[in-house]
Amino acid sequence: MEFYVQKDGQQYGPLTSTALQEHLHADTFALTDLTWDQKTAQWLPIEELLRLQGERQSKSLPRGVAYLQCISGPDSGKRVQLTENQPVIIGTASESNVLSDDPDALPRHVQVTVSQRKVTAEALDGAGLYLDGLPFTSGLIGSKQQLRIGRSLWQVEVPRDLKAGAGAVIGNMADRISSAAGLEQLQDFRAGNLFSAVFQKRTQDDFEVHFATGSPATTPALQDIDTRWPQPWVFFRALLLSLAAFAGLYYACSHFENLRLIPGVILVGSFAVPLSVLVLFFEFNAPRNVFLYQMIRVMLIGGMLSLLITMFFSSWSDSIGLSWMGASVAGIVEESAKLLALLVIVGNPRYPWSLNGMLFGACVGTSFAVIETAGYAFESLFSGYSNGVEITLLMRGIVTPLGGHGILTAMVGAALWRVKGNSRFQFEMLRDSRFLRVFLTAVILHTVWNSPLQIPLLGDFLGQLGKYVIIGFIAWVVVLSLVQMGLKEIREAQECPLPTSQDEEAPEQEPVRSA
């Protein structure tokens, strides 16, 4: 499109959109200068013509789901769903719907709203906005236009294919799951970004620095904690290494027919996948304030206590009338036992963050899962089935990432720490709905996991596997929602930091005496 501009009695043009943009940036032209509008055949202020162009290019969104997505810049890859009459605020403040990592973005930079299936953007607090490279304060934006926020370019994305439609359905399901568990809906989460660092080349120093956490020298200060979505990568290396160790032991055991290697096969096979999932939760712990020794301690103590309590609860379940539930009673018994084990360590004031609780919950659950899997594998030695150990380890390894003990107890731990915060633990906290809804979610998922229910018409194997996949989807939506809220919790503390013990020490003042 070509522009003609009148200024001080002179006419300039034809000018391209880029040339007009350069003149506006150089203050050669002002937004109040007149430009020719071919549609209305009249001279209009540049600002008015830009607004009209936005309306002309902005078409009604098709029915379904649309997104505002960053296509380049510091916020590249972030995406938020646009919903009718639900404003979305982008900025660096913790209360923003989309937290910007752009250094040029303001705390509340822009508000984007959908009304009658049209998208409107409005600059907040005097923020600078550019639409297709031209200054912009408010108005309609179309699906092909680019909105610059700070250094980042954003664009309205309208799904038009089956794949996008399926993604919208999954997104809606995830939102319902988060709401049912009393959690925030996932906002700018994308699996591709979360795992984007998995295949990057790493040095030995990278590994050592990554695991150097929890000491006074390696724990970052509050203001230095990175609150962006984590990009874990060590968990995948841990998985490959564990599987390689298991394969080597299994080959040696079967090839040389050495029975003394069987315990090693069972132990390494039981650890392989749960340990990798635990490393993933270690990488989710953004505060980086948990030492590896503390993780081992929680695994040993928490795992032992949870199993011991489970044995007591299991022996009592029949006497209190729960025998009719069969194997499904484990959902109540085992989740309660792991919760009680968590209560032993909940009082440590050094770990106030909900992401700390998530990691400790994963430690307890991982220990429980490893011992349980090893027990099942050992039991299969005497089942009379050939390859019983291999089948047990393989099947439990496959389903562990879908909703194993580590994942379920991580959910419970994060919810418990979310309620506790910096306060001393009190049993009344267990009645808080923020905790109860997540805990009941874990209990229900575990109960259904152990039940004979399965997806119909798929046969026994695929029907059971389908059930596990659905449970895994629900569990991971809850976990990721808790991670998102844990990061937000830290950002809020960074904006309003809690006083340290030194800050709290004040000079003694004489008390004010009443008359």
CA dist 412 and 80 (Å) reads: 27
For the cut 70, the answer to whether the pLDDT of residue 225 exceeds it is yes
With bands split at pLDDT 50, 70 and 90, how would you rate the model's confidence at 285? very high
Tell me the pLDDT tens digit for each residue of 308-359.
Answer: 999 998 888 777 777 777 788 888 999 999 999 999 887 778 899 999 999 9
Identify the CA nearest to 445 among candidates 474, 416, 413, 483: 474
State how far the alpha carbon of 310 is from the alpha carbons of 333, 428, 449, in Å.
6, 23, 17
> Would you tell me how many other CB atoms lie within 10 Å of the CB of residue 320?
8
pLDDT digits (tens, 9 = 90+) for 80-92: 888 878 899 999 9
| Res. 274: pLDDT tops 90 | yes
What is the rounded distance in angstroms from the CA atom of residue 268 to the CA atom of residue 262?
10
State the pLDDT confidence band at 67, using cuts at 50, 70 and 90: confident
Per-residue confidence (pLDDT) for residue 511, from 0 to 100: 41
Residues 178-202, mean pLDDT to the nearest whole number: 86
Proportion of the chain above pLDDT 70, given as a percent? 86
Higher pLDDT, 63 or 472: 472
Task: Write out pLDDT tens, residues 107-130.
Answer: 999 999 887 778 889 999 989 898
Residue pair 103/75 in contact (Cβ under 8 Å)? The answer is no
Contact 352, 422 (CB under 8 A): yes
- Give the residue from 230, 176, 213 showing the smallest Cα distance to 290: 213
Q: Is 473 a residue whose pLDDT tops 50?
A: yes
pLDDT in tens, 30-46: 777 888 766 667 787 87
The DSSP line for 289-317 is: ---HHHHHHHHHHHHHHHHHHHHHHHHHH
Q: What is the dotted CATH code of the domain comprising 66-159?
A: 2.60.200.20
Cα-based torsion angle of the residue sequence 477, 480, 484, 485 in order, rounded to the nearest 10 degrees: 70
Is the pLDDT higher at 144 or at 75?
75
Distance CA 53, CA 142 (A): 10
**Is domain 3-53 classified as CATH 3.30.1490?**
yes
Q: Stretch 276-283: mean pLDDT, rounded?
A: 97
Summary mean pLDDT of the chain: 84
For the chain, domain boundaries: 3-53, 66-159, 204-495
DSSP state of 32: T
264: confidence class by pLDDT, cuts 50, 70, 90: very high
Q: Per residue in 358-385, pLDDT tens?
A: 999 999 999 999 999 999 999 998 876 6
Stronger pLDDT, 460 or 294, i.e. the higher one = 294
Bigger pLDDT: 364 vs 54: 364
